[in-house]
Amino acid sequence: MFRTRLLSGIVLVVLAVAVIIAGGGILLAAVFAVSCIGMYELYRVFDMEKKLPAVAGYLAALVFYCDLQWQFLPEQSVLFLAYLIALMFVFVFAWPKYHSRQVMAAFFGLFYVAVMLSYVYRLRMMQHGVYLAFLVFLCSWGCDTCAYCVGMLIGRHKMSPKLSPKKSVEGAVGGVLGSALLTALYCYGFREQMSLGAREIGMLAVIAAAAALISMVGDLTASAIKRNYEIKDYGKLIPGHGGILDRFDSMIITAPIIFYLAGYMIL
């Protein structure tokens, strides 16, 4: 199992590096594909992955990503309002075919998966974006790895015993500090390319620590949904890891945090 998980993780890292370096339409298409799969996995939890509210969600995600590329909407809030109204029409005129929780999950899924993951692409399109985008992975996957290692070595106090019994306070601290250290080393290594001084590197390390802490909330949120509906994994797409949401759950919340804090406050 560990070998399978390790090999899958290596493949994911290679693919992530490749699409981020490529940027542009390739990255946009990749993030859109990942978003659609993630939405499908989430909608499957609510037994609606192929039903009309879910289809409306996929179409709304498509329009949203097309607008990121061509910017044809006056503002994206128009899309979200139209999507909400469309879901209300579906809910009312198909009554009682769909439960209210399915309609609400359809709306939630668009934001939780598609919109929040889009910040990986938005980061990449900013100045120094090819370097900024990798911070998302350092703060999410780096935090996961450091937290796992520290938790296995010295973890004693449970962080959330009912929701995630294997996670420890010591592991959480290790994940936060590990993310900050990895980010500091990364930014120091690319300081010239990113035009960073010591102050900016220090601030980015602090931001990485904050993003890593918040990423754990993203991880636990995905776990809480699974516990509510008594499922182990969201899918089986990634051997040893589960589905897209099982692997990208922490990145979902990390990407917008890095976008706003690092992208706009520092660079």
| Domain spans, the chain | 24-124, 128-267
Q: How far is CA 161 from CA 147, 154, 213, 220, in A?
A: 16, 16, 18, 11
Which one, of 246, 262, 152, lies nearest residue 212 by Cα?
262
CB of 200 closer than 8 Å to CB of 266: yes
pTM of the predicted model as reported, rounded to 2 decimal places: 0.91
- Residue 200 to residues 35, 61, 241: CA-CA distances in angstroms? 32, 35, 35
* pLDDT tens column, 216-227: 888 888 889 998
The answer on pLDDT for 267 being more than 70 is no
239 phi and psi, to 5 degrees?
-55, 130
Residues 6+ apart with CB under 8 A from 228: none
pLDDT tens, position by position, 238-255: 887 788 998 888 889 999
Dump pLDDT digits (tens) for 86-144.
999 999 999 999 999 999 999 999 999 999 999 999 999 988 889 999 899 888 888 88
